[in-house]
Amino acid sequence: MEKHMKAPFDKEAAKELRAGDYVYITGTIYTARDAAHKRMYEALEQGRGLPFDIQDQIIYYMGPSPARQGRPIGSAGPTTSSRMDKYTPALLDLGLRGMIGKGKRSKEVKEAVTRNGAVYFAAVGGAGALLSRSIVDSEVIAYDDLGTEAIRKLQVVDFPVIVVMDAEGEDLYERVLNSCQEET
């Protein structure tokens, strides 16, 4: 089913989404990948705060290529989410509502998604040029020294994603594999 939604979004809005839905997101999202997650996790361990208020926000696992002059961003597709699994449950417990990436997640992430009523979306891997056109503004807000891995605040318009894991724990990747096993 095709849906349009605003970001950030709350628990009630998350409940409306089902694994397999094709969703166009408009609003504000944040980027963070390996190095930024490691730093945020360390900050939490040391009792320091996160560099942005994570409540109801979406994190996009993405490190862009450099922007040409006059453009907000370069190529901007998702990276593999599972590398963030170690750090993700703690962020979900703090109110993170959505994640955009690609690929399978751990059992711990899945449990934290259902525990907190969050959603895991996939964007199409390797479609970085296409996805860049849905990003209208980009600003580095933390960890500038990490270059492509810095945390960016993005403004997106109709950013296309697919719900892989919904708030009830239904998982599209698993559904695909199970339906195939039934056939063979």
Residues annotated as catalytic (active site), given as ranges: 37
Which window, 7-15, 88-96, 112-120, 143-151, contacts another protein (CB under 8 A)? 143-151
Query: Residue 152 corresponds to which tokens in the numbers above?
Result: 């960016």
What's the min distance (Å) between Cβ of 95 and another protein? 27
CB 77 within 8 A of CB 31: no
Nearer to another protein, 46 or 69 (CB): 69
Nearer to another protein, 57 or 79 (CB): 79
Planar angle of CA 40, 130, 151, nearest 5 degrees: 15
CB 148 within 8 A of CB 64: yes
Per the DSSP assignment, residues forming a β-bridge with 24 are 4, 160
Does 76 interact with another protein (rule: CB under 8 A)? yes
Nearer to another protein, 8 or 39 (CB): 39
Residue among 35, 43, 90, 94 that touches another protein (CB under 8 A): 35
Contacts of 171 (CB under 8 A, 6+ apart): 19, 110, 164, 165
Return the closest-CA partner of residue 86 out of 119, 122, 42: 42
Does 41 interact with another protein (rule: CB under 8 A)? no
Q: Under the rule (CB under 8 A), what is the footprint of another protein?
A: 20, 22, 35, 62-68, 71, 74-77, 79-80, 82, 102-104, 122, 124-130, 132-133, 146-149, 160, 162, 172-173, 175-177, 179-180, 183-184
